Chain A
């Protein structure tokens, strides 16, 4: 008997997600974000929709996440302040681009990453996208913070300050 294929759900409440997304959009706008570069997923979709409706920030959709680091690096070199928004799976995919552009060039930016599978950690069927995520961030020396409800503005500002202090991207993980 072949397996049945069912929908994967983040388990997040859409109404709560929209509210949080609105707070993130406001916080990133207040930090001077000019461009949002990346690939949407189920957790970040509202961010993309809200930024799309915001004429002060340009959304740059990419086909694969490796392009996001390169485009964001070019934007920063050109005097803008981009944010990369991707899923942890996209982080894995984009490794050499991240190394060869944003890290090697010393680009300070926030990378907002969806921690897909966070809720499955420690369970027998843990999503490998989650179990590999932090070990790989640590192996790459990639600084990260966790986003917390109602503290979005403070955490994102801390991340951007740290990015400028280190001259490299700093991740903010969304659970």
Chain B
């Protein structure tokens, strides 16, 4: 397993320059310290696990642009049906990254239901994802991501990370304001 920081720093090396990155919960604040790209969207509340489906909507709207979403395992478990929904209308430009540490970290590291019992990659395969991967170190990410990201999406990558002490995230402005700014940037660079 790896630390979240090295996981996100490694992901940043592979981030497509024209790509959207949607982050939520435990990944939002650490990503904001690594990246200052205008196409980062911070779905900090995530509405009880709805970042992946939100990102799916962006991916369907912008089919020529890579769209990544960093979801926590707790958030993914809250909306497992979204795995099936994504596969029903599969955006080829969507990469769903799940950062799994088996806890609800931002509320104090309570174990998620099924911690150490469920298999996230099996859930993704069972939902219909064809390209499913699991990586547990920065080295394996550096080795395998070039070929993984060459695949046609939707791609599912489970990243095994250590439990940390990340607090609940909060935006420095209203979500509505962030959404308007992000949308303007996204549509400007789509022309």
Binding site for B on A (CB under 8 A): 35, 37, 58, 60-64, 66-67, 69-80, 82, 96-97, 99-101, 104-107, 167
Contacts and interface: CB of A to CB of B under 8 A. Distances in A.
A66 B50 contact: yes
Contacts of A107: 179
Contacts, number: 113
A73 B54 CA distance: 6
Interface of B: 41, 45-48, 50-51, 53-62, 79, 81-82, 84-85, 88-89, 174-176, 179-180, 182-183, 186-187, 190
A94 B59 CA distance: 22
B176 A71 contact: no
Contact of A79 (B47, B54, B62): B62
Which label, helix, strand, loop or mixed, suits the secondary structure of the B interface? helix
Which label, helix, strand, loop or mixed, suits the secondary structure of the A interface? helix
Contacts of B47: 66, 69-70, 96-97, 99-101, 104
Contacts of A63: 81-82, 84-85
B9 to A, nearest CB: 26
Contacts of A78: 57-62, 186
Contacts of A35: 60
B107 to A, nearest CB: 16
